Amino acid sequence: MSEQTEYWFNMQSGLVEVGKQSLALYRIGPFDDYESAENALEIIAARSAAWADEDDEENFSEQDYSEKDSSGDGN
């Protein structure tokens, strides 16, 4: 069984590492390829924004439901 190469972005040095070379505290990943690891900060920012949008949508839906539930119309 061959082991797949993992690429990590080191937040302390700003460099891509092949394999686990630094403390986990400083590593982001693993990524499948060098280019993805190189763009780690942009990838994480995009994922974070997408998750925030999902949370906003969920919170809006829950708020909308709560307002309907508390309207006093019995439904």
| Domain range summary for the chain, segments of one domain joined by + | 7-69
Structure confidence at residue 67 as a pLDDT band (50, 70, 90): low
Q: Does residue 30 register a pLDDT over 90?
A: yes
Confidence label for 59 from pLDDT (cuts 50, 70 and 90): confident
Would the pTM of this model clear 0.75, i.e. be above it? no
SS3 58: helix
- Looking at residues 3-25, what average pLDDT do you find? 96
- The answer, yes or no, to whether residue 56 has pLDDT greater than 60, is yes
Across 55-68, b (16+ Cβ under 10 Å) vs e yields eeeeeeeeeeeeee
In this prediction, residue 65 carries a pLDDT of 58
